[in-house]
Amino acid sequence: MNDSSVSTRRRAAMAASDPDRPSGLQRTFGNAMLLPGWLVRLTLRRLITAVALLFVVTALTFVLVSLTPGDAAREILGLNASPSEYDRFRHQLGLDLPIYEQYWNWLSRALTGDLGKSLYGPDVAASIAERLPVTIWLVFGALLVSLILGVSLGSLSAIRRGILGRVVDAFALAGFAFPAFWLGVLLIMLFAVKLRWFPATGYVPLAQSPGEWFLSLVLPVAALSVGGVAAVAKQSREAMLDVLDSEYVRMARANGTSASSVFFRHALKSTSIRVVTVLGVQAIGLLGGTVVIESVFALPGAGSLAVTASIRHDLPMVLGIVVYFTMIVVLINLVIDLSYTWLNPKVRVR
Amino acid sequence: MSMASPVSDVADVADPGGETSVSAQSPRLLRRLLRRPVAVGCVTFLALLAGIAIVAPIMLPNVSSEQAGDLLTARQLPTGGHWLGTDTLGRDVFARLMVGTRITLVGVVEALAVVLAIGLPLGLAAGYFGGRLDRFVSWLADLAFSMPAIVIVLVVLSVFPQNMTAAMITFALIAAPGLTRIVRSATLPVREELYIAAAEVSGLSRPYIVARHILPRISGVVIVQASLLAGVALLVQTGLGFLSLVVPAPAPSWGGMIADGAKAIVLQPWLIWPPGLAVALTILVLGLLGDAVRDATTEGWAPPVRSGRRRPLVTSVESDRRGLSPECGSGRSQTALLSIEGLHVGFTSGASTRRVLEDVTLSINEGEAVGLVGESGCGKTTVAMAVLGLLTGSGQIEGGRIQFDGRDLGDLVERELREVRGRQIGLVSQEPIVGLTPVFRVGWLLAEAVRTHHDVSRREARARAVELLRQVHFADPEAAARRYPHELSGGMAQRVAIARALAGEPKLLIADEPTTALDVTVQAEILDLLRELQVKRNMALLLITHDWGVVADICDRAIVMYAGQIVEQAEVRSILQRPLHPYTEALLSASPNHASATECLSVIPGDVPRPGLWPTGCHFHPRCGYATSLCRAKAIPLELVKFDRQTRCIHHDKMAGSAPGTVTISKNGL
């Protein structure tokens, strides 16, 4: 994964080393364009990947579905429906069309933002939009906790090694070993059932009551972020050790830079390049983690919607969720790439 | 957690992978691994687990289909009859845990097999053949990293309900490009090696070369990745089991048992522990195994000093200075700007201490330029670092005294030392580019240095930064200020470093081999600049170098160091005329500045002895042509032979009486 980003970044670096060659886009728009070239290029590349990805994934899903016996009409009507009733319903759903036509119909509507209706009635886009905030708050919260706690723990253990360093190492190992959903159950038992500090399950929208909203998110975010904290702490510890050992930190100190400036400016900004990379991977991981965590805490999010849709063979809904989640992942990757490039002047094209 | 990111924790192994694999050799890897108790323990645990997975369902055939046990004994804590208690339906938890091992591990093995079957060959091919295939594989990996793995798995499960194999294969397909990428980057350096080219020339087929010559070399990396991926696959399998998506009830699986426990969390909290710990322990073992393999691969490759050099940021400096004893002193320090007396420095590793500086005494007056000369490894840089209180790692001042401008630096705490650094004494190092923090622009770095030493506004600091750049001869200082360090040439970076060292208007500038890393044409430019600044600012200069030409050009006085000691100290002119220490004489005759076109450049035979291996008596006697038995007998003191002329040689009279070069250094061994 370091590695994954490396290749795109290496390409960016190569582009950076050749400042005389304007990008196609720059040639088209000229230098009057305000956005820097690297930003436009990165964004475009990510968007193209996103489009290709959505196309491939949804097409594959259609093919998969066509290969399996039974279909949505049978699923909804049950086995007792008469053949004529069944055929009529199939026709109504468009299931009697060839698979490529079905896909084309779905795709042309999806492009206009219409993801169709769930087999069980409700509009797919509306259902997802309703549930997405829960998932996004979860991921955002867990990411924030991972970042703050992870970087603090990792840096602290790098500065004062010894016992603290070993504790962070042990925590990193444990954080990776215990599944988030198991930790979730444990947290419910401790803080909801025994201590009654937080609600065990359920979600309160932010608009309804900010206080209760916060309380309802504490335990799920905690369970979800343990792995992230561990990964970020480990990575930032190693990065910090490397940086503190570097010639530029030695020279900064030799010329009188204060310890706090050495740490908070020189070292922290340099390590952030590596931390951001891990954070991106974690963000994508956390997004997947919500699927299970939302089930543990009975949160009405997109993740649990995905599980329900999967169990009920609700193809339109599943497709819609795939579209949304893929777009979120692409967005995360884009943000990570941009902040990586912003933090690391070496890969930036001036 | 890391459920949907099959490759999330490979990040930390990814970078060493490239290089370490090169030094790894697979038969030795296995042997090294077996020497590690942790690795043996991990392998034993995994073998035991595999044994349980095979045997348990055979020995306990009814457990998988048991809908309910004895409901009267439901939810029991561990007893003699039920080692791990019973679940909500009265079934034996231990039996279910054992039987559930199979389905859980089968899922992991399925995923791992597919990842290896796809990722390994693709990675090897991409690394070995490169070109279009490499680009395609890289594109594939980009694509896979943009997929929300778990959601895709859910799609597959909606089409193939309760089909674990389909789910795990889907997961593996998305995870495989991650492995591909790591295998590829591990293959690249091996591919470049000579013996691979030799194998190609000798006509071996390419698949054969890949299988027999490259694969064994990268096995360490592959095993590390496999153990990490197995851990992630286990998390995915149990996660899906927890959601009852892959193992139909009543068959037990670890994830399913956690789900059962979660449902009864109020009535019987114990139930989540056995399966939870089973999962955690297995992942822990896989992680430890990966670490052990990585350590075994990097064994003998990682520089052992590294751990020692990593020391706390703040505390090391205070401990460095503990050894300073204030007793010894002399009258010289009143006039000198910097005076070092009887300085001893040692590096501690474990119980032993290696001494690197022994009885170093020197002084620098205000506005004076002093050259500190000697071969690499003599301790020149250590002197500079000791003065600044910045000895790295376990370095400690064990005795002696460092006075600067009337103050004993040994009495200062870290905060006070910081006032000395930069403001009293500036430092310029030999590696200019890496000495500048890469993420900041030159202007920012200089403005920060200005603000460190002067209480000025940001705007003012910025203006002074630009002014400093002008003083170090940047034609367009504004443009230079906007550059990042990596956009500078070596000479430009060195001028920036000098500007930074000047920001605090120090009274002494220590330049540690400031031209070593630079092109010859740039060297003169930097030296001229140093000389100019030194004169203009009436600043003292301690120039660390091994180049006599530089010393002759710039310095008033020269101090020669050998193996942790100062061996000679004199005015530059007199030392060049007649060195009074054989080492100085040898150094001078080895200097290209002295050589004429016709004669061969002489070389000092032998090497500088490493710290801790110094000979008794005179440190130079094994390489010295003047050496007598007296030189070997006891330590030689630094002796004042003339006014302001010191040497650590008992034969200095003999040398003074003869013309330089008449007594030649012995050339044995050449």
**pLDDT tens-digit series, residues B411-449:** 888 888 888 898 999 999 888 888 999 889 999 999 999
Look at residue B614 and tell me if it is in a domain: no
Q: Measure the CA dihedral B644/B579/B428/B518, to 10°.
A: 160
Pairing status of strand B369-373 against strand B557-562:
parallel
Of B19 and A315, more confident? A315
**For residue B628, how many other CB atoms are within 10 A of its CB?**
12
Distance between CA atoms of residues B44 and B51, nearest Å: 10
Q: Helix crossing, A2-16 with A268-296: angle to 10°?
A: 140
Look at residue B321 and tell me if it is in a domain: no
Q: Cβ contacts of residue A3 below 8 Å, gap of 6+?
A: B10, B11, B14, B15, B181, B182, B185
* Count of H-run helices and E-run strands, chain B: 26, 12
Residue B259 sits in the same domain as residue B357: no
Of B11 and B237, more confident? B237
B window 436-465, beta carbon within 8 A of A: 436-441, 448-449, 452-453
What pLDDT score was predicted for residue B599?
56
CATH of the domain at B419: 3.40.50.300
What percent of chain B is predicted at pLDDT more than 70? Answer: 87
The dihedral region occupied by A98, where left means phi > 0, alpha psi between -120 and 50, and beta the remainder, is beta
Which residues in A lie closer than 8 A to residue B7 (C-beta atoms)? 1, 4, 281
pLDDT category of residue A173 using cuts at 50, 70 and 90: confident
Q: List the single residue in A with minimal CA-CA distance to B166.
A: A64
Mean pLDDT of A205-230: 91
Residue B101 sits in the same domain as residue B211: yes
Residue B253 sits in the same domain as residue B351: no
Which residues in B lie closer than 8 A to residue A313 (C-beta atoms)? 158-159, 161
Residue B285 sits in the same domain as residue B177: yes
Look at residue B660 and tell me if it is in a domain: no
What pLDDT score was predicted for residue B596?
52
What pLDDT score was predicted for residue A348?
64
Residue that finishes a domain, picked among B543, B569, B595: B569
Is residue B403 a contact partner of residue B382, using CB atoms and an 8 Å limit? Answer: no
**pLDDT tens-digit series, residues B111-120:** 999 999 999 9
Q: List the single residue in B with minimal CA-CA distance to A19.
A: B487
Predicted confidence (pLDDT) at residue B183 exceeds the cutoff of 50: yes
Give the number of C-alpha atoms closer than 13 A to the C-alpha of residue A227, restricted to the C-beta side. Answer: 36
Look at residue B257 and tell me if it is in a domain: yes
Which residues in A lie closer than 8 A to residue B262 (C-beta atoms)? 181, 185, 188, 296
DSSP string over B392-447: -TTEEEEEEEEEETTEEGGG--HHHHHHHBTTTEEEE-S-TTTTS-TTS-HHHHHH
Residue that finishes a domain, picked among B569, B603, B618: B569
Sheet holding B338-349, edge to edge: B352-364, B338-349, B395-404, B407-408
Look at residue B642 and tell me if it is in a domain: no
Whether residues A227 and B2 touch (CB distance < 8 A) is answered with: yes
Residue whose token pair is 């091919």: B125
Q: Is B265 on the interface with A (CB under 8 A)?
A: yes
Whether residues A255 and B452 touch (CB distance < 8 A) is answered with: yes
CA distance B276 to chain A (A): 6
Distance between CA atoms of residues B363 and B406, nearest Å: 12
Look at residue B484 and tell me if it is in a domain: no
**How many structural domains is chain B composed of?**
2
Distance between CA atoms of residues A186 and A181, nearest Å: 9
Distance between CA atoms of residues B358 and B398, nearest Å: 10
DSSP state of B363: E
Distance between CA atoms of residues B383 and B357, nearest Å: 8
Mean pLDDT of B21-31: 56
DSSP string over B8-53: GGGHHHHHHHHHHHHH--HHHHHHHHHT-HHHHHHHHHHHHHHHHH
What pLDDT score was predicted for residue B109?
96
ipTM of the complex: 0.83
Give the number of C-alpha atoms closer than 13 A to the C-alpha of residue B418, restricted to the C-beta side. Answer: 19
Residue that finishes a domain, picked among B524, B547, B569: B569
Is residue B602 a contact partner of residue B590, using CB atoms and an 8 Å limit? Answer: yes
CATH of the domain at B207: 1.10.3720.10
Domains and CATH numbers, chain A: 39-110 (no CATH), 124-347 (1.10.3720.10)
Q: List the single residue in B with minimal CA-CA distance to A297.
A: B262
Cα–Cα nearest to B585, from B641, B660, B530: B660
Look at residue B649 and tell me if it is in a domain: no
**Dihedral pair phi/psi, residue B353, rounded to 5°:** -120, 130
What pLDDT score was predicted for residue B480?
93
Which residues in A lie closer than 8 A to residue B309 (C-beta atoms)? 245
What is chain A's alpha carbon radius of gyration, rounded to the nearest angstrom?
25
Predicted confidence (pLDDT) at residue A63 exceeds the cutoff of 70: yes
Residue B129 sits in the same domain as residue B178: yes
Question: Cα–Cα–Cα angle for B501, B503, B504, nearest 5°?
Answer: 90
CA distance A327 to chain B (A): 9
Residue B420 sits in the same domain as residue B519: yes
What pLDDT score was predicted for residue B666?
40
Look at residue B483 and tell me if it is in a domain: no
3-state secondary structure (DSSP) of residue B339 = strand
Q: Which domain holds residue B549?
A: 326-424+506-569
Residue B158 sits in the same domain as residue B272: yes
Residue B336 sits in the same domain as residue B376: yes
Is residue B461 a contact partner of residue B451, using CB atoms and an 8 Å limit? Answer: yes
Whether residues A178 and B280 touch (CB distance < 8 A) is answered with: yes
Residue B112 sits in the same domain as residue B153: yes
What pLDDT score was predicted for residue B450?
93
Distance between CA atoms of residues B411 and B403, nearest Å: 10
Predicted confidence (pLDDT) at residue B1 exceeds the cutoff of 60: no
Pairing status of strand B508-512 against strand B540-545:
parallel
Residue B280 sits in the same domain as residue B344: no
CA distance A30 to chain B (A): 23
Residue B267 sits in the same domain as residue B343: no
Is residue B365 a contact partner of residue B337, using CB atoms and an 8 Å limit? Answer: yes
Residue B229 sits in the same domain as residue B268: yes
Is residue B590 a contact partner of residue B667, using CB atoms and an 8 Å limit? Answer: no
What pLDDT score was predicted for residue B601?
61
